[in-house]
A = this chain, B = another copy of it.
Amino acid sequence: MRPWEANIRKVVPYVPGEQPKKERMIKLNTNENPYDPAPAVRRAARSFETGELRLYPDPSAAVLADALAERYGLDSDQVFVGVGSDDVLAMAFLTFFNSEKPILFPDISYSFYSVWADLYRIPYERPALDEEFRIRKEDYYKENGGVIFPNPNAPTSLAMEIGDVEDIIAHNQDVVVIVDEAYIDFGGESALGLLSKYENLLVVQTFSKSRSMAGMRIGYAMGNKTLIKALNDVKYSFNSYTMNQTSLCLGTEAVKAEDYFQEVIGKIKATRERSKERLSRLGFVYPEPSANFIFARHPGADARKLFEALKKEDIYVRYFDAPRIDQYLRITIGTDEQMDILFDFLERYLQR
């Protein structure tokens, strides 16, 4: 090792998920939306004024925060915008989780929570999901430095009743509670309705799933203005200009396209219902899905082998080689046509 290498930060080498680019592939592995962004997004790109790019973007991302505030019936100072919900969540960890006590999040959940906690040296504990992959709310009633959980949860797709979500918040009014609602538009009830009641609640959502804009990197947090100001203060303190002008412009148009948004959600939910039936007929079992994916296993088929067999057909789903979930596949809801190709293969595969 050369001397200058001694001070290089040690991290667990991580390989980003497969993003293969094949023409006929069926990509059901990263919970992307199978439908294009709203037509208004295309029009915005066509008329985007590139001359303005010579100027720095608005660091407060006001145009986009305003549009989101209007959409969700909030004030503009209740919305924080970031480069994907990963950026927003990491910023929230840095801003709100500065206690000596451990923060709490489920053992089976979004994998980056522990990564950000490690990065910022935040102690944490991970209460186990129950046998049916449900979050046990009572596990979150003990003393802690903050709470975060996704609703619906990933990779299970299970939603928690809003009453249970509120119970967790009600039992944790001395810390910040973050509800990560990346998939809420596909099912479950949002905690947004609780914002007026709990000042310590932060709700995080994203454009990557329901708004078909994973490629644009836009996430946002909603909460009382003290929380939002704290997020902005921390952001401004070390990197003021993160949202580029195209994100602000195209993102704003996406928020305004409400009818298109509802149409896409409706189509994906309908395909999810069809997919559930078809999977059940094939003998798969799965927790009741509320997100744009189904977390399924087949009692008669090894998950990893099935995953590999699908890949050979250029059908990509997600497999997690981790305790308790290594016999499951996470299958993103694609178009009806894509799902039919998947099911036709599964049928042949299971008959072998």
A31-45 interface with B by 8 A CB criterion: 32-37, 41-42, 45
Complex: A237 Cα to B16 Cα, angstroms: 9
B242 touches A83 (CB 8 A): yes
Query: Least Cβ distance of A241 to chain B in Å?
Result: 6
* Contact, CB under 8 Å: B51 / A145: no
B56 touches A37 (CB 8 A): no
Q: Are B48 and A45 in contact (CB under 8 A)?
A: yes
Q: Does any Cβ of B come within 8 Å of A84's Cβ?
A: yes
Smallest CB gap from A37: residue in B: B53
Interface residue A341 (Cβ < 8 Å from any Cβ of B): no
Within the complex, which residue of B27, B59, B83, B216 is in contact with A83, where a contact is CB–CB below 8 Å?
Answer: B83
Please report the C-alpha to C-alpha distance between residue A50 and residue B38 in the assembled complex, in whole angstroms.
9
Of A2-10, A182-190, A306-314, the one with at least 4 CB within 8 A of chain B: A2-10
B86 touches A4 (CB 8 A): no
Select one of B19, B35, B146 contacting A56, CB under 8 A: B19
Which stretch in A66-74, A151-159, A171-179, A282-290 binds the other chain?
A171-179
Complex interface: chain B residues within 8 A of A191 (CB) = none
User: Quick check: which of A90-98, A128-136, A322-330 contacts chain B, the rest being far away?
Assistant: A90-98
Contacting residues of chain A (209-256) with chain B, CB-CB under 8 angstroms: 212-217, 226, 230, 233-234, 236-247, 250
Closest-CB distance, A215 to chain B (whole angstroms): 4
**Chain B contacts for A41, CB-based, 8 A:** 50, 53
Question: When the two chains form their complex, are residues B86 and A239 in contact, meaning their CB atoms are under 8 A apart?
Answer: yes
Name the residue on B nearest A240 (C-beta): B16
- Decide: A216 and B239 in contact? CB cutoff 8 A: no
Checking B11, B42, B98 against A50 with a beta-carbon cut-off of 8 angstroms, the contacting residue is B42
Q: Which residues of B contact A199 (CB under 8 A)?
A: 2, 4
Most B Cβ at <10 Å: residue of A14, A175, A245: A14
Asked if residues B32 and A51 are in contact (CB atoms below 8 Å), the reply is no
Contacts A4-B174, A86-B240 known; list 18 others, CB within 8 Å.
A4-B96, A4-B173, A8-B230, A9-B96, A9-B98, A12-B237, A13-B233, A34-B54, A42-B51, A46-B46, A53-B214, A53-B250, A54-B214, A83-B239, A83-B244, A115-B237, A217-B244, A244-B247
Closest 7 CB pairs of A and B: A3-B174, A215-B245, A53-B215, A11-B237, A246-B246, A4-B200, A54-B212
